[in-house]
Structure 1
């Protein structure tokens, strides 16, 4: 799965946004931040897999849903976990970048498993 597809899954399953337009090449979502667009040519207004500010919005959304967040760097990779009550782990992921690790762990926390094939 490529980064654009992961961004879309995060938008739908973590952030709770519904697509209002999808022609296969261009997708738009109405969000609390306004209308956001994703397109196949990698022009994205919101990209939590790449942009740490957008990834932090994902963290904040899960914090609102009572998830605890931890991030650490080990052996050149970022490790991220989302848990509840400090004991029950819902999502863990590691990646070369913090934003991608956040997105993958967030998706696991809401029950969506993905495999990255392109970074």
Structure 2
């Protein structure tokens, strides 16, 4: 899981760098790229929270500790809701569709990274 997450984070950093490059070069797209960057940040945070939760569940299934309760899905939904609220509150800074699209990027990157990792293993 750590190798897949590392690959996905590197890919996300490349997408972030490309977005920053577009933000610097094309002034008309600044609200779109800032919205995308806000969504990418939330997407990374959600992936990190999900990774931590999966590790806790795996540890509990292996008998390594007591079952821990947490917010789980609620914290990930709250992160996306915070992005939507920021984009709604500051429409001159952030594009709402770009921010929400950015929130959905990391799961697809993780899916592709896991597929490539599993293809290399077999």
The structure with the largest helix share of the pair is 2
TM bucket normalised to smaller? under 0.3
More relative contact order, 1 or 2 (CA 8 Å, 6+ apart): 2
Q: Which has the larger radius of gyration?
A: 2
The structure with the largest strand share of the pair is 1
